[in-house]
Amino acid sequence: MMIWTRQQHLPDEEPNEHNADAYAAPQLLAGASEDGQYIYDAVYVASAGCFLLTALKLNTEWGFIEQERRCKPATRQALLAETALLEHDPEHWLAQSGKNE
């Protein structure tokens, strides 16, 4: 099982007019695998009405990006579900290019 370090500044409720400032944070969720090979972050894009989750697979020897995937979950719950899937099996999640993009 992969160990992840994560930070979360995600408000408890779905985005609305009362918590718009909290959702404007530059990084709502972020995580990295213990070996540094996988990283992700998430922001809320108010103009599009969705989240943007970006995940990268890094070549830890040479420091370049081997693989990247972005998805746009529509809800907070969907974002958390995508993040859980990503952390469970990052290779599989990254390979699903085109889903929710």
> How many Cβ atoms from other residues are within 10 Å of residue 30's Cβ?
17
- Residue 79 located in a structural domain: yes
Q: Identify the pLDDT of residue 30.
A: 98
Mapped onto helix, strand or coil, the DSSP state of residue 1 is coil
Residue ranges in the chain modelled with pLDDT below 50: none
Cβ contact 96:68 at 8 Å: no
- Residue 3 located in a structural domain: no
CA-to-CA dists, residue 47 to 32, 75, 90, angstroms: 27, 14, 28
- Residue 6 located in a structural domain: no
For the entire predicted model, the pTM comes to 0.92
Q: Identify the pLDDT of residue 60.
A: 87
- Residue 54 located in a structural domain: yes
Tally of structural domains, the chain:
1
- Residue 48 located in a structural domain: yes
Q: Identify the pLDDT of residue 101.
A: 58
User: What domain range is 79 assigned to?
Assistant: 17-95
